[in-house]
A and B are shown apart, each in its own frame.
Chain A
Amino acid sequence: DSGAVPHTSSSGGDSEGKSKSADKSSRSRKLKHDVIEALNELIQDITTCHELIAEQAVEHIHQNEVILTLGSSRTVLEFLCAAKMKKRSFRVFVAEGAPRYQGHLLAKDLVTRGLQTTLITDSAVFAMISRVNMVIVGAHAVMANGGVIAPVGLNMVALAAQRHAVPFVVLAGSHKLCPLYPHNPEVLLNELRSPSELLDFGEFSDCMDFGTGTASPLLHVVNPTFDYVPPKLVSLFITDTGGHNPSYVYRLIADYYSAYDLVVQRRPPTAS
């Protein structure tokens, strides 16, 4: 892994050799300095990503629209409130997002900020979606192909939106942009959480621990955390740099990441 200057440097006199070493030391001090400056900018971007995304809300939310979302995302909350502050009047349908029911919290927050909100169950999404003008959701991660790893239930919402020709808009800060593809074996697409979020301890323990007659349990509870939404269901990504197509994501990745770094693994130490 060579630095910027190749070791096989060109011919030069002692004066160049001395200036080269002087350049090297000044450059080394400059490199670390520049890197730390860039890192500070990165930290700043991460901290302010919500405001940068929320600034674009007015272009996307129009008067008298109906927005649908699922669960709770801070980015979505600030996005909707920014549009509200610019005097756009619109209504929001919030799907509660079982089993954690974070939609309840989002609905409360929206109401305290003065937005007309309707809370619905996840099953009611397909019934209501014909009256919805736009779906706005947050994401856990955006993969290199434009696919989205999102909280569980959002694949269903994306399919319903496609069936009714409703735009599906994903808000994601640029730190969520992942250069890996979903088929990459390193990527764990999902995490299974405790069944206690669905069933109380002790309530079903006889079914879950063992079945009658056989030793294996009859009842399994699966509690995934995430859904994978394929890129063809996503209409628009709104990041802190602006709005992008799913097919544009590879360009953002080329801007932010290098191809060498896809596998992050320490090289075995070479004999010096």
Chain B
Amino acid sequence: MPDVQVLVNDFINKLRKRKIEGSQATSRQTAELLRSVISQTRVPYTNQAGALIDAVRAVGEQLIAANPVELAVGNIVRRVLHIIREEDLSLATAAVAGLGLSSVSDDEDDSERDNHPVLSAAVVAAAARSTLRPPSLQTLLEDVPDSGAVPHTSSSGGDSEGKSKSADKSSRSRKLKHDVIEALNELIQDITTCHELIAEQAVEHIHQNEVILTLGSSRTVLEFLCAAKEKKRSFRVFVAEGAPRYQGHLLAKDLVTRGLQTTLITDSAVFAMISRVNMVIVGAHAVMANGGVIAPVGLNMVALAAQRHAVPFVVLAGSHKLCPLYPHNPEVLLNELRSPSELLDFGEFSDCMDFGTGTASPLLHVVNPTFDYVPPKLVSLFITDTGGHNPSYVYRLIADYYSADDLVVQRRPPTAS
């Protein structure tokens, strides 16, 4: 697969140089890349799910290492792995159910027909148990690390059953890739339309004559507010500028062109103004498994001010931002420090920053973090493309989207065949 490897290397370079802006673009391109990888992976007859998982893991490990701060990359890799496992499991149960039915119809003997329902139930249970189960003594002895859907110790059957089984397997292998790619297409569609799905819910949350506060600029927040405006709700927005990048200025301009009454304030003025605010609406960089939020710098201060004045703190996040890791996990890099040039011009303070008088070490340090961590107790509501949720509900969403086996994305050392 040389051309896929070229695509992968190209994408890794872009990630490493931070050329892709925003988690939505990153997620979409990651999903498209993995789709290409899967469609070009050759799968053997047996254990096709294992082969797909290995291929995705190999690529995913490199992608995550290229930009560890962009958690959306890891999220999408784990979503794809979960999709593969889910499709495999549904195919297995469908196939075994089909197997049981076919064996009942083939037989004319009453006693055998009575026996076969019991047999098919046992076979179904064995199939479910053996589908991608974690390594155990039995599997190590069998030397099949990621077993496919149908157990090798299949029940008794004649030649006809053997032939139908192999025919089933080949059709199943084609079907698995096909189903996975279909599910991936749905995932890419969801990522692309997450803003519209979130903005649809704006009318339930923003009421007439309310005052909304936000900080910095987020496309999700912009579309959320404009959707409420189009439904004829009249409200006012306070935008905190969000130093040092001052993206709040851009958001304020966008809101004004769409006809919303906007007030631009400094970050320091947030606590002074928050007693007059009815709701705080912000975007997020990532949502962790405990409900904590990794958000642009300055939002922890806003969350604390909002708690002090009993103002609801609402976080908008597409489901691709939902990360199955906890903040204390050593793999998670909670922050990234950017260049001091965003605060101080080059050359202006270079004498203080390079060396101090008398000592060789610099007297002036400049710290420019990108993100803040907002603990879950400060968040009132998460609005995702699936609806509004409590911070304590996030673990349920993670159970829906991710498998526990995929928390560590690492390629298995190849076993001797």
Contact = CB atoms under 8 A, between A and B. Distances in A.
Given A130-B278, A131-B278, A133-B276, 8 more contacts: A130-B310, A133-B275, A163-B310, A164-B310, A165-B275, A165-B308, A165-B309, A165-B310
Contacts of B278: 130-131
11 contacts: A130-B278, A130-B310, A131-B278, A133-B275, A133-B276, A163-B310, A164-B310, A165-B275, A165-B308, A165-B309, A165-B310
Contacts of B310: 130, 163-165
A131 B207 CA distance: 12
Contacts of A163: 310
A68 B254 CA distance: 37
Interface string B273-313: 00110100000000000000000000000000000111000
Contacts of B308: 165
* Ranked 3 nearest A-B pairs via Cβ: A165-B309, A165-B310, A164-B310
Interface string B250-284: 00000000000000000000000001101000000
Nearest to B210: A131
A165 B312 CA distance: 12
Nearest to A64: B276
Contacts, number: 11
Contacts of A130: 278, 310
Contacts of A133: 275-276
Contacts of B276: 133
B263 to A, nearest CB: 14
A133 B310 CA distance: 12
Q: For the side of the interface on A, what is the size category?
A: under 10
A163 B308 CA distance: 10
Interface in A72-88: none
Contacts of B309: 165
A130 B311 CA distance: 9
B283 to A, nearest CB: 24
A106 to B, nearest CB: 25
Contacts of A164: 310
Contacts of B275: 133, 165
Nearest to A164: B310
Contacts of A165: 275, 308-310
Nearest to A131: B278
A1 to B, nearest CB: 53
A163 B309 CA distance: 9
A131 B309 CA distance: 12
A165 B276 CA distance: 11
A164 B310 CA distance: 5
A131 B310 CA distance: 11
A110 B167 CA distance: 87
Nearest to B309: A165
A165 B308 CA distance: 7
B281 to A, nearest CB: 16
B91 to A, nearest CB: 52
Nearest to B308: A165
Nearest to A162: B310
Nearest to B209: A131
Interface in A91-139: 130-131, 133
Interface string B218-249: 00000000000000000000000000000000
A218 to B, nearest CB: 42
Contacts of A131: 278
Interface in A129-169: 130-131, 133, 163-165
Interface centre among A131, A164, A165 (most CB of B within 10 A): A165
A133 B278 CA distance: 11
A131 B311 CA distance: 11
A233 B309 CA distance: 15
B211 to A, nearest CB: 10
A133 B275 CA distance: 8
Nearest to A65: B276
A103 B246 CA distance: 49
A144 B392 CA distance: 44
Interface string A161-204: 00111000000000000000000000000000000000000000
B385 to A, nearest CB: 28
A164 B278 CA distance: 11
A235 to B, nearest CB: 12
A32 to B, nearest CB: 53
B235 to A, nearest CB: 13
A78 B292 CA distance: 49
A129 to B, nearest CB: 10
A84 to B, nearest CB: 21
B66 to A, nearest CB: 45
A133 B211 CA distance: 13
Interface centre among B278, B309, B310 (most CB of A within 10 A): B310
A131 B210 CA distance: 9
B205 to A, nearest CB: 14
A1 B278 CA distance: 61
B238 to A, nearest CB: 15
Nearest to A163: B310
A131 B332 CA distance: 40
B108 to A, nearest CB: 73
Interface in B377-404: none
Nearest to B306: A165
Nearest to A134: B275
Interface string A191-221: 0000000000000000000000000000000
Nearest to A129: B310
Nearest to B312: A130
Interface string B306-325: 00111000000000000000
Nearest to A167: B275
A165 B307 CA distance: 9
A130 B306 CA distance: 13
A165 B304 CA distance: 13
A30 B310 CA distance: 59
A170 to B, nearest CB: 20
Interface string A247-265: 0000000000000000000
